Structure formats: structure tokens, C-alpha cells
Amino acid sequence: MADRTVLYQSVGAVLTHFDVDVEAATLTQRTSVTLPSNVQYVWPHPSRKFLYVSTSDAASGNTPVPGVMHRICALRVASDGSAAMHGEPQPLPSRPIHHCVNPAGTHVLSAFNNPSNITVHPINADGTLGPRVEQKAKADVGIYAHQVVVAPSNRIVIFPARGNDAKDGKPEDPGAIKVFGFDHGQLTDAQNIVGGRNGFDYRPRHVDFHPTKPWMYANIESQNEMHMHRLNAAGDKLEATPAFTATTLAVIRDPKLHQTTSAIHVHPNGRFVYTANRADSTVELDGKRVFAGGENSIAVFAIDQTTGEPRRIQNVDPLTHHVRTVSIDPSGRLLVAASIRDMWTHYGSEVRLAPAGLSVFRIGADGRLELVRKYDVELNGKLQWWTGMMGL
């Protein structure tokens, strides 16, 4: 078990670390470091001695604000959890939406949404980053990549390409889960998995893996679904058809409201999987944009240890809106959910501002969540874009 547990949080370009007291379920703010531009994602090295942070000054989504500064940065982590820049940041071609470090700790892989793309950078022996690996073959990166992760076998890369819903007269773009072979930093096309109607009505966003069984769990964003795919014995091929599908919602979704999933994480003991439901539609009221309704919750699934089937057992309110990131402490006893923005909200006959926050839950032996406290977060016009816990 980790000697120390820390949580990292980004608001704009500032990355702040908190000490986590698992027994007391408290977060204590410590030090901060400012990155070259807004933090997009963070992933620790397997050694926990370094963090890799992607940054960009571009707007999110499909908005036409491409930005000019996109970087992948290495940070050295001290024994107290404080972080500092380590070596020179490496340039990226556009805004990164996600990145990861492979299980062997040798490479950082970055995903880009607009346009869809993937890059690979080597990690040097001292933890700094080397220049981008030139790819021998062009990978099929689909439309609107949203995540890149290397499977536990270290042999394949999973690349959910979400596609896009139809909007403002523009037709729907189909989604897919792309699978690449991965060998010494080189990517090769391996599988193209499409659900829904040949990729339509199919928005794969993020995946996570069972710690000991050959099972991968995917959340399907606009459909608010959890899918489970089996891997083969070698861990280098996915079954194209999900073995199980389940809704993430406690109530039937209202098609008039924006209702999607976000993060997904399997519990360290492999018995549960968690995903966030988010709703952020608003209506005009007295000069304010006020929450229009929908489900903001953390969905809890128990995993059948024989079949891998996820069975939803709880949906719990984080007392905040639009949770984008969720993390679990290494001991599996705490879950922290983070919302990205404030939201004007009805409280009975009143309309009050519901601040962005860090919602701290205890995880019971049965996997269910109990809200202990919510820390309000002052955004000052920025977004709480990423959070995550890790042990030192």
C-alpha cells in the first residue's frame, strides 16, 4: 500500500497537489505549479517519480479556436507530492485531449480530437521526454479521438474515436474503437470495432481494464451505456461485440437534454466499476443560464467475477454538475469526483449558484458510495479540467 496518497487538480494552467487522508476522507491543499498553458490531462509514470502533463491554449471540443501552444511536459514528483518541471516540454501538433504512459514506462502516447490524431514520445532513462517517434505507417485514427490507453499486455493500444452527434445542421459522424499494434513506439492498425448502426448511435469515450481478468469496460458517451469486451488470452485482441451492455442512468433519459457519460474507472480489487453521468443543459431565466435538468451522478456497477458482467447497483448524487473526472485512491477506500464548472441551479423556489467542486466519497465493502463532503472550488473564470489520485 502507498505510504502517501496525493490528489492533483488542474484549474486552467495551474496544477495543485493535495494531501489525502484516506481515514478521515479529507483533502489538504499544498503546493502548485504553473504549466505553459491550460492543463488537458495528466498521467503518472509507473515509478510514481514523474508526471506527464499535456497542455494547450486551444478551446475544447469542435470550437474553431485552434490555439498556438500545445505541449507534453515531464514533471518530477518529490516525496511530499510537490511537482516541478523536468526537462524541456515537447511540442504537439494540436490540442491533446488525452494521453497515457504505457505499462512498461517507456513511452507517452497522446490523443488529439480536432483533427483526430495520435503521437508517441519516448521517455528517457532520467524521466525526461524525447522527440516524437516518426511513424512508419499512418494509423487509422477515426473521427474525434477521445482517449488513448495501452492494454495491460503492453502489446496493443486502445483508441476510442468518439465521432460526433448531429448538430446545427451537420450530420452525425460515426464512432469506433480503434485498436493498434504497439512495438517499440511504432503503431500499426489491428482492429476497427464499431457498435450501434455501423458506428452511428455509438459514441465510445473512455475505457478501463480489469486488474486480473481479460475484461475491458467502455463507457458510450451519448448513449449512456457501459459495455464489456473480452480480450483473448494473449491480451492483444478484443472481441468486437460486447459481451454485456448496461445503462448508466437511474432514470430514462430526456432526449431534449444534453446527457452523457465521462470518466470510467475499475476498482483496484476488480469487483466494481464506476462511471460519471453528466448533464449541463441550461435555460434562460432572469438573465441567467439555469440548469435545465438531467442526471448528474456517479454510477456504481458490481462486476460478476465469473462472467465479467457489470450490474448497476447505485447512482449517487455528487452535489455538483458536469463531473468530468473521477479517481480512486490506491487502497480502494475513497473516490473523488470533480466537476468542471459552476452552475446556476433551482433549490426549491430559489436559484443559487452551485459551485464546481471536489466531492469525496467513501467506498464501502459492497462498492457503494457514501458522500462524506464536497469542497467548493473557486475557478476565477477557468475550468477544473482534470483531477486524479495516486500513491507515492
Q: Over 90: is that where the pLDDT of 3 sits?
A: no
Which whole number is the average pLDDT over 141-162?
A: 98
pLDDT tens digits, one per residue of 75-118:
999 999 999 999 999 999 999 999 999 999 999 999 999 999 99
- Percent of the chain past pLDDT 90, that is, above it, reads 94
In the structure, what pLDDT confidence band is assigned to residue 1 with cuts at 50, 70 and 90? Answer: low
pLDDT tens digits, one per residue of 167-184:
989 999 999 999 999 999
pLDDT tens digits, one per residue of 300-314:
999 999 999 999 999
Q: Over 90: is that where the pLDDT of 206 sits?
A: yes
Which whole number is the average pLDDT over 238-257?
A: 95
pLDDT tens digits, one per residue of 16-68:
999 999 999 999 999 999 999 999 999 999 999 999 999 999 988 766 778 99
Q: Point out the least confidently predicted range of 2-6, 145-149, 268-272.
A: 2-6
Helix/strand/coil (H/E/C) assignment for every residue in the chain: CCCCEEEEEEECCEEEEEEEECCCCEEEEEEEEECCCEEEEEEECCCCCEEEEEEECCCCCCCCCCCCCEEEEEEEECCCCCEEECCCCEECCCCEEEEEECCCCCEEEEEEECCEEEEEEEECCCCCECCCCCCCCCCCCCCCECCCEECCCCCEEEEEECCECCECCECCECCEEEEEEEECCEEEEEEEECCCECCECCCEEEEEECCCCCEEEEEECCCCEEEEEEECCCCCCECCCCCEEEECCCCCCCCCCCEEEEEEEECCCCCEEEEEEEECCEEEECCEEEECCCCCEEEEEEECCCCCCEEEEEEECCCCCCEEEEEECCCCCEEEEEECCCEEEEECCEEEEECCEEEEEEECCCCCEEEEEEEECCCCCCCCCEEEEEEC
Which whole number is the average pLDDT over 370-375?
A: 99
In the structure, what pLDDT confidence band is assigned to residue 387 with cuts at 50, 70 and 90? Answer: very high
In the structure, what pLDDT confidence band is assigned to residue 349 with cuts at 50, 70 and 90? Answer: confident
pLDDT tens digits, one per residue of 123-151:
999 999 999 999 999 999 999 999 999 99
In the structure, what pLDDT confidence band is assigned to residue 186 with cuts at 50, 70 and 90? Answer: very high
Computed over every residue of the chain, the mean pLDDT equals 97
pTM over 0.85: yes
Q: Is the dihedral of CA 236, 52, 69, 340 positive or negative?
A: positive
Cβ count near 184 (within 10 Å): 9
pLDDT tens digits, one per residue of 312-345:
999 999 999 999 999 999 999 999 999 999 999 9
Which whole number is the average pLDDT over 197-216?
A: 98
Domains of the chain: 35-202 (2.130.10.10)
